[in-house]
């Protein structure tokens, strides 16, 4: 675990029992048994390529039983998986909600059965989870906003389009709060011009592409910069720009440091992304979960206020990092992406050019 996460947690892991993935059965009764529900694999690659593997590794190292499942964007499946995990006897339930309504329902059911809960990556508004583990999501947005400003240096009065995440995801609201804190003053003083501003239901990349295509049409293809909330939406935007021979000339932001996003940066089609060290996030969540399963009540150095209930939620908040073509190697060095995959085929020369390997 990194220094920030370690400092944020005051607890000691107790490793006991076996660490097998126990998706088809419950724990053995003595070994802590932890359930994790991931949201989907369509909105971002990270849930399956990063979060799952890091959580599995952390639980294996702690010697606990665990069950990690993915709701694949289905609110019904999200609740069904939770019911199954509670029936199998999990001691702790870690969830990435699809929306706060279904998330809160699951948390309440867990609480009624004496099961501790952790909001992972996304806060469940009004949910009352015991803990929240994520990144400083407003800072993610600040990095995106400043990144777009940097990429537009020298462009006079650029017209900006904002393609936000899902309106039901509290993180998307926090991201927007962050980048609007950078962009709004520039709109107000006339340095930038505010253009179309749309939310994308469920972070759906196809819908994001459709929305951006309409934005481009409505503005007569005069958009000069795009604040896209993550790499998936950024790629949808780039695909539309490419059809209009505008890719590489209109800066586009992103988030998640996916292989596709980093490759788009190497191509010059995306100006930046935000790297969130998911391994540190997964380790922090796993450490909390194991401590809770062992009957401990860990203390954290941070908290966030639930915007619905007004309650403070004990939190671990990690620091995000802005990534451009100049520091992609840091993401590779961290083991988040594989250089062989990133630099495959046509990207080999681009990786060599930027010293990535």
Strand 302-305 to 312-318 pairing: antiparallel
Distance CA 183, CA 224 (A): 14
pLDDT computed for residue 145 by the predictor: 98
Give the DSSP letter string of 111-171.
Answer: HHTT-EEEEESS--TTT--SEEEEE-HHHHHHHHHHHHHHHTTT-SS-EEEEEE--TT-HH
Distance separating the N- and C-terminal Cα atoms of the chain: 24
pLDDT tens sequence across 135-182: 999 999 999 999 999 999 999 999 999 999 999 999 999 999 999 999
Question: What values do phi and psi take at 33, rounded to 5?
Answer: -130, 120
Structure-token pair, residue 144: 């995106």
pLDDT computed for residue 13 by the predictor: 34
Q: How would you list the strands of the sheet with 65-70, edge to edge? A: 65-70, 33-38, 92-95, 116-120, 131-135, 312-318, 302-305
Structure-token pair, residue 338: 């594989």
Q: How many CB atoms lie within 10 A of CB 242?
A: 12
- Please give the chain's pLDDT, 357 residues, in tens: 343 343 344 333 333 333 444 444 565 568 999 999 999 999 888 999 999 999 999 999 999 999 999 999 999 999 999 999 999 999 999 999 999 999 999 999 999 999 999 999 999 999 999 999 999 999 999 999 999 999 999 999 999 999 999 999 999 999 999 999 999 999 999 999 999 999 999 999 999 999 999 999 999 999 999 999 999 999 999 999 999 999 999 999 999 999 999 999 999 999 999 999 999 999 999 999 999 999 999 999 999 999 999 999 999 999 999 999 999 999 999 999 999 999 999 999 999 999 998
Residues 346/348/350/351 CA torsion (nearest 10 deg)? 150
Distance CA 255, CA 4 (A): 20
Cβ proximity of 118 and 94 under 8 Å: yes
Q: How many CB atoms lie within 10 A of CB 278?
A: 24
Of the candidates 45, 135, 157, 133, the one whose C-alpha atom is nearest the C-alpha of residue 321 is: 135
- Find the largest Cα–Cα distance for the chain: 65
Give the DSSP letter string of 40-94.
Answer: -SSS-THIIIIIHHHHHHHHHHHT-EEEEEE-TT-HHHHHHHHHHHHHHT-SEEE
pLDDT computed for residue 29 by the predictor: 64
Distance CA 31, CA 128 (A): 26
Question: What values do phi and psi take at 331, rounded to 5?
Answer: -70, -40
pLDDT tens sequence across 10-51: 333 333 333 444 444 565 568 999 999 999 999 888 999 999
Distance CA 253, CA 256 (A): 11
pLDDT computed for residue 30 by the predictor: 82
pTM of the model as a whole:
0.85
């Amino acid at each position: 675990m990194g220094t920030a996460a370690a400092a944020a947690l005051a607890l000691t892991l107790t490793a006991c029992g076996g660490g097998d993935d126990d998706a088809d059965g419950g724990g053995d009764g003595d070994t802590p048994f932890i359930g994790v529900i991931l949201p989907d694999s369509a909105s971002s690659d990270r849930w399956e390529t990063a979060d799952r593997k890091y959580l599995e590794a952390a639980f294996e190292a702690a010697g606990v039983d665990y069950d990690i499942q993915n709701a694949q964007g289905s609110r019904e499946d999200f609740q069904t998986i939770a019911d199954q995990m509670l029936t199998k006897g999990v001691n702790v339930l870690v969830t990435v909600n699809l929306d706060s309504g279904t998330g809160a329902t699951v948390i309440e059911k867990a609480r009624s059965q004496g099961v501790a809960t952790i909001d992972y990556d996304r806060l469940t508004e009004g949910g009352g989870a015991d803990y929240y583990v994520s990144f400083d999501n407003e800072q993610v947005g600040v990095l995106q906003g400043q990144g777009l400003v940097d990429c537009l240096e020298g462009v006079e009065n650029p017209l900006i389009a904002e393609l936000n995440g899902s309106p039901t995801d509290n993180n998307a609201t926090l991201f927007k709060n962050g980048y609007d804190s950078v962009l709004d003053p520039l709109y107000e003083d006339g340095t930038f011009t505010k253009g179309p501003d749309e939310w994308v239901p469920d972070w759906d990349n196809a819908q994001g592409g459709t929305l951006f295509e309409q934005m481009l049409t409505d503005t007569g293809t005069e958009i000069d910069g795009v604040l896209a909330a993550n790499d998936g939406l950024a790629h949808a935007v780039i695909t539309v720009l490419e059809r209009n021979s505008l890719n590489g000339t209109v800066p586009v932001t992103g988030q998640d440091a996916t292989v596709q996003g980093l490759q788009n940066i190497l191509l010059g089609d995306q100006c930046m992304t935000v790297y969130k060290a998911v391994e540190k996030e997964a380790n922090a969540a796993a450490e909390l979960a194991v401590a809770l399963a062992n009957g401990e009540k860990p203390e954290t150095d941070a908290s966030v206020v639930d915007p619905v209930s007004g309650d403070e939620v004990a939190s671990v908040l990690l620091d995000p990092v802005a990534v451009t073509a100049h520091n992609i190697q840091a993401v590779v060095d961290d083991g988040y992406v594989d250089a062989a995959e990133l630099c495959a085929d046509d990207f080999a020369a681009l990786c060599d050019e930027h010293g990535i390997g």
